[in-house]
C-alpha cells in the first residue's frame, strides 16, 4: 500500500465520510488514521468490534455517550510535580471519567454478554470512582469550586457573605438618609476595587468622610467608602483573600489526585476514542446498508456500490440511482481487460473494486451484497487518472509509464491487486497497444490480479489469445448515449466512437471520411460487438425478470408454508381443547356415577333394616336406568377423537392432469399438472406454487364443508348381574391395568350389595400387591382390607380380603 494508491482511489475521502459520524475529535482522528492491514487476525479484530457495534445499534439497548474530549494538553500540563490546573480543566477530566464509568457499567450488564469484542475492548476502563466523586463534590459544571469542597471554604464564604450583608445594610441606610441627600450624586450602592462605595458629588466631598476609590469619567462623581464601613471592608478583603488561598489549595489537591491517576485517565481516553470510532463506523454502515466483509481465497463482489457516489447521490436525493456492480473472474483468470465507450463507467468500476478492497482490509463494512467475498492482498497498486506533472516535466504518457514501472518493480508474487486505467493511452495507438500487452504479460507472469481499462483493439486480441486473461465490458446504452455501469465479464466492448460522434452532431462528410479510412474488418468487429452488447442487455433483462419471478414464487411458497404451519397449530390447539373438554366431561360423569352407586347402596341398606328378605326396592331399578342414561348421554356428547379419518387413496387410473386431489401432508387441495418417474411422482399446483408429491400420497377430494371426523371416546357402562362373583384374579397384570379392572369389579360388587370381596394378586415381587393396597386406601367404599391367612383363606397371603361399606 502507498499514499499514491490511497489518493487515486480516494481512500481518505471514505475515511472523512466515516469520521463525520464520530462524537469526538479523538474518535474522528482514529478513523482518519486507519490504514488497510495485511494480517487477517488484525482485520478480523477490527471487524469483530464493528460487528458488535452494528448489532448494538440495531438492538433496543441505549448506548451511553462515547464523547471523548482531547485531554492531551491538559494531562501534559498537570504531569509535572506540583502543577495546578484550573477548575474548567478539572471538569473536562471529570466529564471523561463520567463517560468512562457509564461505558464500564454498560458493558458489565448481562445484556452485553454476547458482545465479546466490545467487552474485550472496554475491559481496561478504570472509572477512578474516588477521584470522580471528589471532582463532583468540589466543582460546579462551570469549573467553580463548590462550598462542599472543604469546611474551611464553607466557613470563609459564610463569613464573607455576612460581612457583605452588614456593609450593604449600613450603606443602604446612609443612602436613604435625608442628611446625606444633598451630598449624593445618586442613591445606590456599588463596588470599586472590591470595596463597597456610594456615589458622592465632587463639591460635597467633605460632607461624607471616607476613602475615595474611584472617579467617574466626567470627574463630577466620587466613589467613596465611608469611614463607618472601613473596618468591615478590611475584614471582607481579608476573608476574600483567605477564600482564594483555600480555593487554590483545593485545586492543587485535586490536580495532585488527577496526576496520581494519569495513566488510567490516558487509557480511558484511548479506549473511549476507539469505541467512538467503532460506533461511527457502525452508524455509517447502517446508513449505507453495508455488510461486514467475508474473506476467502478469491475476490467476488455482488451489488457493490461506490461509497463516495452513494454519499453524493444521497445529498442530491437520488440514492437509488447508484447502479450496483457485480465482479467475479472465472477460475484460472488473473487479468481482466475492461473495454468500451468513453464515459462508459470503466473507471468507476475500477475505483469501486479498489476502494472496497481497501475498506475490507481496514475491517470496515462495505456497501455490497452479503454474498461478496474478499481476499487479503499484500499490495494494492493503482495507476488511475491524468498523471502528468508540469513541475516534473512529465507528459501524460510519461507519467503513466513512470508509475507503472514502479508497480512492476514492487508487485509481489500472487499477492497484489493492480488497477490500471487507460492502459497504453497517451501515445501512438499501435506502440501504446504493444506496450500495454507487454505490461499485461509481465503482470500475468507474477500472478498479480490485474484489472485494466483500455480502448485499444490490439489489447483486446492479446487478452483473448491468453488462457489466464479475459475481456470484459461496461454496458453502454446506444440510444441515450449513457453508461449503464454494469460490468459484463467474458466479452470485449465496442467503443461506439462513430455512433457517439454522429449523435453529437459531427458533420456527415467527416463521419464518411472516417468510415472510409477504417478497414472493413474493424467496422464489422464493432458491429458484432454492438450486437453482442444488445444481446447481453436482452439476456440480462430476461434474467432480471426470471429472478423477480423466482423471488415472487419464493414469497408465495413461504406464505403458504406459514399459513400451513398456522393451520396445523390451530388444529392441534382445537384437538387439545376438545380433549380437555372430553376429560372434564368424563370426570363429571364418573362423579355422578359414584354418587348414583352411593345412593343405591344407601337405599339397599335402608331396605335391609326393614327386612332382611325384602327384595331391592323399585328405586334401585330407576337408579340403574339413570346410570345407563348417563353413559349413553356421555357417548353422544363427546365429539372429539384423536383418530384421523381413514385415508382415501386414489387409484392411478383415476389420476389425470387437471384433476383436483386432496394432499394430506399439506392439509389442502391441489390440481395435478403432470407425472414423472414412470407415474410414481406427480407435479401439483397448490395456490400457484408447484409441489412434487408421491402418487401414493394423493387422496380423493374432500368436501369443503365436511368437518373432520369426530373422535370417539368409548365409555363402558358397568353391568350389574344378580350372580356377581366375589373374587377377581389379577395375577400377571401390570399395576395400572389391574387397578382399572379392580375399579370396575368394586363398582359391580357394591351394586350387588356384597359385603366382602377377594382380590387374588399372587406373591411375586409384591409390587402388584402394594399398588392394590395403596389404591384401596383411597376408596371411601372400602372399610378395611387384609392379607389372606394361610390356614383360614384359600390362597393365603397371595390374596387380599376387602370389606365393603354397607
CA distance 544 to 549: 9
Task: Please choose, from the candidates 484, 485, 440, 442, the residue with its C-alpha nearest in 3D space to the C-alpha of residue 460.
Answer: 440
Angle between the 307-315 and 346-361 helix axes, to the nearest 10 degrees?
110
Residue 190: CA count within 13 A, CB half-sphere: 18
CATH class of 151-235: mainly alpha
Does the annotation list 340 as a binding residue? yes
> Mean pLDDT, to the nearest integer, of 595-599?
71
Question: pLDDT tens for residues 243-273?
Answer: 999 999 999 999 999 999 999 999 999 999 9
Mean per-residue pLDDT, 547-569:
83
pLDDT of residue 477: 67
CA 658 – CA 637 distance, rounded (Å): 42
Q: Is 648 helix (H, G, I), strand (E, B) or coil?
A: coil
Q: How confident is the model over 82-136, as pLDDT tens digits? A: 999 999 999 999 999 999 999 999 999 999 999 999 999 999 999 999 999 999 9
The lowest-confidence range among 110-114, 132-136, 366-370, 534-538 is 534-538
Distances (CA, A) of 181 to 178, 199, 212, 230: 5, 11, 18, 21
Pick the CATH number of 300-518 from 3.40.50.300, 3.40.50.720, 3.40.630.30, 3.40.50.1820: 3.40.50.300
Distance from C-alpha of 255 to C-alpha of 637, rounded to nearest angstrom:
88
Residue 345 annotated as binding? yes
Q: Kindly report the CATH number that applies to the domain delimited by 3-128+261-287.
A: 1.10.1420.10
- CATH says 727-804 is which class? alpha beta
The stretch 610-619 carries a mean pLDDT of 49
The reply, when asked if residue 343 is annotated as ligand binding, is yes
**Separation of alpha carbons 526 and 535, rounded Å:** 14
**What CA–CA distance (Å, rounded) separates 750 from 600?**
9
Q: What pLDDT score was predicted for residue 707?
A: 44
The grid cell for 228 is: 463607618
Average pLDDT, the chain: 82
**C-alpha distances in Å from residue 207, one per residue of 138, 183, 190, 228, 675:** 47, 6, 19, 14, 126
Residue 645's pLDDT band (cuts 50, 70, 90): low
Q: Which three cell numbers stand for residue 468?
A: 489466464
Question: Residues 425-452: what's their mean pLDDT?
Answer: 87
Most confidently predicted of 92-101, 292-301, 677-686? 92-101
**Cβ burial 537-559 (10 Å sphere, 16+ → b, else e):** beeeeeeeeeeeeeeeeeeebee
C-alpha cell at 724: 356377581
Distance between CA 287 and CA 372 in Å, rounded?
Answer: 19
Ligand-binding site membership of 41 (annotated):
no
686/421: higher pLDDT: 421
Nearest to 251 by CA among 92, 128, 99, 144: 144
Q: Give the range among 26-30, 486-490, 653-657, 659-663 with minimum mean pLDDT.
A: 486-490
Output the CA angle 324-330-336, nearest 5 degrees: 70
Q: Does residue 453 have a known ligand-binding role?
A: no
Helix residue spans in 58-112 (DSSP H):
72-78, 87-107
Say if residue 166 is exposed, middle or buried (CB neighbours under 10 Å; 0-12, 13-18, 19+): middle
pLDDT tier at 589, thresholds 50, 70, 90: low
Q: Which residues have a Cβ under 8 Å from the Cβ of 287 and sit 6 or more positions away?
A: 21
pLDDT range class, residue 395, cuts 50, 70, 90: low
Model pTM? 0.60
Closest CA to 456 of 513, 418, 408, 495: 495
Share of the chain above pLDDT 70, in %: 79
Which among 195, 212, 200, 192 is positioned nearest to 174, based on CA atoms? 200
User: Residue range 477-499: average pLDDT?
Assistant: 68
Write down the architecture of domain 652-699 according to CATH: Roll (2.30)
The yes-or-no verdict on residue 772 having pLDDT over 70 is yes
| pLDDT, mean of residues 698-708 | 66
The answer to whether the annotation marks 342 as part of a ligand binding site is yes
In contact, 338 and 349? CB cutoff 8 Å: yes
**Whole-angstrom Cα distance, residue 56 to residue 281?**
12
Sign of CA dihedral 366, 369, 375, 379: negative
User: How open is the CA angle 503-506-509, to the nearest 5 degrees?
Assistant: 120
Amino acid at each position: 500500500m502507498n499514499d499514491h494508491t490511497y489518493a487515486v482511489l480516494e481512500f481518505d475521502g471514505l475515511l472523512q465520510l466515516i469520521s463525520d459520524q464520530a462524537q469526538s475529535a479523538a474518535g474522528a482522528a482514529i478513523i482518519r488514521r486507519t490504514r488497510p492491514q495485511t494480517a487477517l487476525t488484525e482485520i478480523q479484530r477490527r471487524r469483530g468490534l464493528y460487528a458488535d457495534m452494528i448489532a448494538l445499534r440495531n438492538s433496543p439497548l441505549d448506548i451511553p455517550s462515547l464523547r471523548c474530549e482531547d485531554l492531551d494538553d491538559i494531562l501534559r500540563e498537570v504531569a509535572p510535580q506540583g502543577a495546578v490546573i484550573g477548575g474548567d480543566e478539572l471538569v473536562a477530566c471529570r466529564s471523561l471519567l463520567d463517560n468512562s464509568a457509564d461505558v464500564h457499567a454498560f458493558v458489565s450488564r448481562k445484556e452485553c454478554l454476547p458482545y465479546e469484542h466490545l467487552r474485550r475492548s472496554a475491559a481496561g476502563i478504570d472509572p477512578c470512582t474516588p477521584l470522580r466523586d471528589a471532582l463532583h463534590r468540589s466543582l460546579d459544571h462551570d469549573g467553580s469550586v463548590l462550598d462542599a469542597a472543604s469546611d474551611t471554604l464553607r466557613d470563609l464564604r459564610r463569613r464573607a457573605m455576612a460581612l457583605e450583608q452588614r456593609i450593604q445594610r449600613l450603606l443602604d441606610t446612609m443612602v436613604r438618609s435625608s442628611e446625606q441627600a444633598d451630598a449624593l450624586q445618586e442613591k445606590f450602592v456599588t463596588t470599586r476595587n472590591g470595596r463597597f462605595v456610594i456615589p458622592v458629588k465632587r463639591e460635597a466631598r467633605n460632607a461624607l468622610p471616607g476613602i475615595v476609590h474611584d472617579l467617574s469619567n466626567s470627574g463630577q462623581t466620587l466613589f467613596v467608602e465611608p469611614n463607618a464601613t472601613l473596618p468591615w471592608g478590611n475584614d471582607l478583603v481579608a476573608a476574600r483573600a483567605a477564600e482564594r488561598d483555600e480555593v487554590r489549595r483545593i485545586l492543587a489537591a485535586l490536580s495532585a489526585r488527577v496526576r496520581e491517576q494519569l495513566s488510567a485517565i490516558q487509557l480511558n481516553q484511548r479506549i473511549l476514542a476507539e469505541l467512538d470510532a467503532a460506533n461511527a463506523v457502525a452508524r455509517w454502515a447502517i446508513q449505507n446498508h453495508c455488510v461486514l466483509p467475508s474473506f476467502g481465497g478469491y475476490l467476488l463482489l455482488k451489488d457493490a456500490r461506490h461509497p463516495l457516489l452513494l454519499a453524493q447521490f444521497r445529498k442530491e436525493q437520488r440514492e437509488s440511482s447508484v447502479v450496483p456492480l457485480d465482479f467475479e473472474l472465472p477460475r484460472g483468470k488473473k487479468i481482466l481487460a475492461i473495454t468500451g465507450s468513453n464515459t462508459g463507467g470503466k473507471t468507476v468500476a475500477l475505483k469501486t473494486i479498489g476502494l472496497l478492497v481497501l475498506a475490507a482490509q481496514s475491517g470496515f463494512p462495505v456497501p455490497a451484497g452479503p454474498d461478496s467475498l474478499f481476499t487479503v492482498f499484500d499490495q494494492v497498486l493503482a495507476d488511475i487518472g491524468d498523471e502528468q506533472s508540469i513541475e516534473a516535466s512529465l507528459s501524460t504518457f510519461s507519467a503513466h509509464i513512470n508509475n507503472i514501472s514502479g508497480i512492476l518493480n514492487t508487485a509481489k508474487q500472487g499477492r497484489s491487486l493492480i488497477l490500471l486505467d487507460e492502459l497504453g493511452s497517451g501515445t501512438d495507438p499501435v506502440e501504446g497497444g504493444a506496450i500495454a500487452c507487454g505490461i499485461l504479460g509481465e503482470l500475468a507472469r507474477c500472478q498479480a490480479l490485474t484489472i485494466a481499462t483500455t480502448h485499444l483493439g490490439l489489447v483486446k486480441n492479446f487478452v483473448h489469445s491468453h488462457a489466464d486473461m479475459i475481456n470484459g465490458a461496461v454496458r453502454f446504452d446506444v440510444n441515450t448515449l449513457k453508461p449503464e455501469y454494469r460490468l459484463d465479464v467474458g466479452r470485449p466492448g465496442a467503443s461506439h466512437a462513430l455512433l457517439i460522434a454522429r449523435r453529437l452532431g459531427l458533420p456527415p462528410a467527416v463521419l464518411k471520411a472516417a468510415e472510409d479510412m477504417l478497414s472493413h474488418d474493424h467496422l464489422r468487429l464493432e458491429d458484432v460487438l454492438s450486437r453482442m452488447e444488445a444481446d447481453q442487455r436482452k439476456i440480462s433483462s430476461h434474467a432480471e425478470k426470471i429472478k423477480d419471478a423466482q423471488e415472487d414464487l419464493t414469497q408465495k411458497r413461504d406464505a403458504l408454508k406459514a399459513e400451513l404451519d398456522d393451520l396445523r397449530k390451530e388444529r392441534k390447539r382445537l384437538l387439545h381443547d376438545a380433549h380437555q373438554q372430553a376429560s372434564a366431561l368424563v370426570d363429571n360423569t364418573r362423579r355422578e356415577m359414584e354418587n348414583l352407586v352411593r345412593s343405591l347402596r344407601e337405599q339397599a341398606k335402608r331396605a335391609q333394616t326393614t327386612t332382611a328378605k325384602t327384595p331391592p326396592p323399585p328405586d334401585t331399578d330407576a337408579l340403574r336406568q339413570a346410570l345407563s342414561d348417563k353413559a349413553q348421554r356421555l357417548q353422544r356428547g363427546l365429539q372429539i377423537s384423536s383418530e384421523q379419518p381413514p385415508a382415501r387413496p386414489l387409484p392411478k387410473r383415476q389420476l389425470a392432469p387437471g384433476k383436483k386431489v386432496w394432499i394430506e401432508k399439506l392439509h389442502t387441495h391441489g390440481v395435478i399438472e403432470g407425472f414423472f418417474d414412470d407415474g410414481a411422482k406427480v407435479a401439483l399446483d397448490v395456490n400457484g406454487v408447484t409441489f412434487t408429491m408421491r402418487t401414493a400420497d394423493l387422496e380423493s377430494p374432500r368436501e369443503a364443508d365436511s368437518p373432520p371426523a369426530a373422535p370417539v371416546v368409548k365409555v363402558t357402562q358397568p353391568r350389574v348381574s344378580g350372580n356377581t362373583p366375589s373374587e377377581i384374579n389379577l395375577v400377571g397384570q401390570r399395576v395400572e391395568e389391574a387397578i382399572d379392572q379392580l375399579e370396575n369389579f368394586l363398582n359391580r360388587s357394591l351394586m350387588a350389595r356384597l359385603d366382602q370381596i377377594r382380590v387374588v394378586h399372587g406373591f411375586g415381587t409384591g409390587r402388584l400387591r402394594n399398588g392394590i393396597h395403596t389404591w384401596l386406601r383411597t376408596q371411601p367404599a372400602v372399610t378395611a382390607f387384609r392379607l389372606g391367612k394361610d390356614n383360614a383363606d384359600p390362597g393365603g397371603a397371595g390374596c387380599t380380603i376387602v370389606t365393603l361399606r354397607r
